[in-house]
Amino acid sequence: MSKHNIVFIGMDTHKSFIEVAYIEDVRGVKPIHLGKNPSTKQSVIKLVRRF
């Protein structure tokens, strides 16, 4: 049997930056704030690879 993990990702998008936070679907876990990232294509690709 495989275990499934659910992660909720929140993104606040602006023209010059993207602010990102995520939280796992586990009771009592606090959200993790990844901070502001530039809105460049390279930065978004790097962000996606983190997940």
Whether 1 maps to a domain, the answer reads no
Whether 2 maps to a domain, the answer reads no
- Inform me whether the pLDDT recorded for 4 exceeds 80: no
Q: What domain count does the chain have?
A: 1
Q: Give residue-wise pLDDT tens across range 32-47.
A: 998 899 999 999 899 8
- Inform me whether the pLDDT recorded for 16 exceeds 80: yes
Whether 23 maps to a domain, the answer reads yes
Question: SS3 sequence, 14-47?
Answer: CCCEEEEEEEECCCCCCCEEEEEEECCHHHHHHH
What is the per-residue pLDDT for 51? 76
What is the per-residue pLDDT for 2? 60
Whole-model pTM above 0.85?
no
Query: For residue 12, what pLDDT band results from cuts at 50, 70 and 90?
Result: very high
| Longest Cα separation, the chain | 44
Whether 16 maps to a domain, the answer reads yes
